[in-house]
Structure 1
């Protein structure tokens, strides 16, 4: 059975607790990282929380993934998102991997700051997976042993400055501004029998109440089995690290068709990117100060409900 955990601030003290029906049962102990919390609290120990409860309305949310963990991301990992990004899903045969700065991680209800000089701020709802243990050598992850590697799931919103990411070819910079990585509110810890539900989660994102993204994780191209196997051969991963698995279609970003891209390739570099930015100016979907972005992820049976992220977009102070 899935178990929902909250990292929160109460009377100036950072704590972790089990959440049920709007009440938090604190978990004893001091944990300086997500890794420390996961390693000290196997899910089996948390099913019978004891002690006084705290109304969730009385606490301040913190991110369930702490900034001393790795933030690894997959790009263009839903078929329709590939198409809207100008890629042919039948031709692309690689798993796109990049990272975000952990300094962009903020609680799920934080304002998102639109930096001065950034014109095209985009949203990307994603399922985040939190690792259960270290991976320091090449391993073969399978559907049968996936539960040994994944502790739980969270909501991630991979906010992106498209005018930095695309023309400058700066994925890391364009996606790593402070506040560009809300995580949570809940870390949903999973048992072995819960893992198959990761393939049937529904992701929904709205802007000012209008649905922009709505899809199921059944549409993932490279799932956690393939991705963790591949990453295990590249670099070390650690308990508590975050893997954001990609976003569905519906982003504000507009990419020229392959035909237009081929034509643009013949143009001088400055002209090519001038036309790209002009195309983005015609997209009203890009975020502006005052917009409210809400993201939620839930399983079809409701057993996994990762809560709701609510972010108001604000301009950077001059």
Structure 2
């Protein structure tokens, strides 16, 4: 299932995407209840749905399966993709954990040895923005860079998770742009401030539930800047795969539903290009990950 948060008539709603159509989950549920003499209630907030996960998703699946069978009799439940504003699917993760230098091709472009263990840092949730929102360039940085990444959304609480069971804790996958002020990042030595300016975590456009992605380690990932492809790789190049990352991190802290893991970026980032390429006002960043979608943001 492809879940999203969208805005229509100034109201934020949870939707289900099918190709170029967005289905309003609240309206679907109301019509499901009326047709089946049910009284299903659920949070119409994707953060809350992810947090409640197993309790809520069973109801959502029931509503959606009914809707697919009765699509011709439904009324007022759909919008065209281009007629709504797509928001960040979630914006209140308890933890936004990032993995650095996690693509072999990214290590090669830096001429560094691949890490022996995952390099971990974090971003603040306050830097999350949605598709089509503007990345704001901070006055104190002149080296703001892009990083296309596959993001994992956690759906179940867990500590000391084994690699074998790690994917059981995944709710789904989305796209994140790990925007980075390189001059601040390298000046500070530790990376959090340079990675966590407001607007430095565009995310979306949807969360694809894990059952829709046969193998998250077989996905093409690209980034275009103003139409020029600067990153082009595949998640097969991840050094540490998703089960290992989840297991490794859960030895130190407890994962909670709604937490997000940014799994790293492939080669082609601006700071390691010759000549270097940094974001400037008026630019457009477009990230595409196979089977997930396209995340596009302008730069202001």
Q: Same fold (TM over 0.5)?
A: yes
> Are the counterparts in 2 of residues 203 and 213 from structure 1 also a CA contact under 8 Å?
yes
Length-normalised TM-score, structure 1: 0.81
Cα distance in 2 for partners of 1:170, 1:108 equals: 28
> Are the counterparts in 2 of residues 108 and 311 from structure 1 also a CA contact under 8 Å?
yes
- Show the counterpart of 1:301: none
Range moving further from structure 2, 155-164 or 64-73:
64-73
- Show the counterpart of 1:70: 95
CA separation of 1:218 and 1:240: change in aligned 2, threshold 3 A: same
5 Å-filtered alignment, 1:214-233, equals 214-233=232-251
Cα distance in 2 for partners of 1:139, 1:30 equals: 28
Q: Please state whether the residue corresponding to 2:280 is helix, strand or coil.
A: coil
> Are the counterparts in 1 of residues 14 and 25 from structure 2 also a CA contact under 8 Å?
yes
Cα distance in 1 for partners of 2:244, 2:130 equals: 29
> Are the counterparts in 2 of residues 164 and 170 from structure 1 also a CA contact under 8 Å?
no
- Structure 1: segments with no counterpart, 5+ residues: 255-279, 299-303
- Show the counterpart of 1:292: 284
> Are the counterparts in 2 of residues 6 and 17 from structure 1 also a CA contact under 8 Å?
yes
Cα distance in 1 for partners of 2:250, 2:242 equals: 12
Cα distance in 1 for partners of 2:191, 2:107 equals: 16
Q: Say how many residue pairs are matched.
A: 273
1:235 paired with 2:253, answer: yes
> Are the counterparts in 2 of residues 111 and 311 from structure 1 also a CA contact under 8 Å?
yes
CA separation of 1:49 and 1:72: change in aligned 2, threshold 3 A: farther
Q: Please state whether the residue corresponding to 2:289 is helix, strand or coil.
A: strand
5 Å-filtered alignment, 1:183-262, equals 183-191=203-211, 194-254=212-272
Length-normalised TM-score, structure 2: 0.85
Cα shift at 1:161:
0.2
2:57 paired residue among 32, 37, 41:
41
* Greater percentage in helix: 2
> Are the counterparts in 2 of residues 78 and 219 from structure 1 also a CA contact under 8 Å?
yes
- Show the counterpart of 1:93: 116
5 Å-filtered alignment, 1:69-218, equals 69-89=94-114, 92-135=115-158, 137-142=159-164, 145-191=165-211, 194-218=212-236
Cα shift at 1:284:
4.1
Cα shift at 1:138:
1.3
Range moving further from structure 2, 17-26 or 160-169:
17-26
Cα distance in 2 for partners of 1:66, 1:41 equals: 19
- Show the counterpart of 2:34: none
- Show the counterpart of 2:10: 12
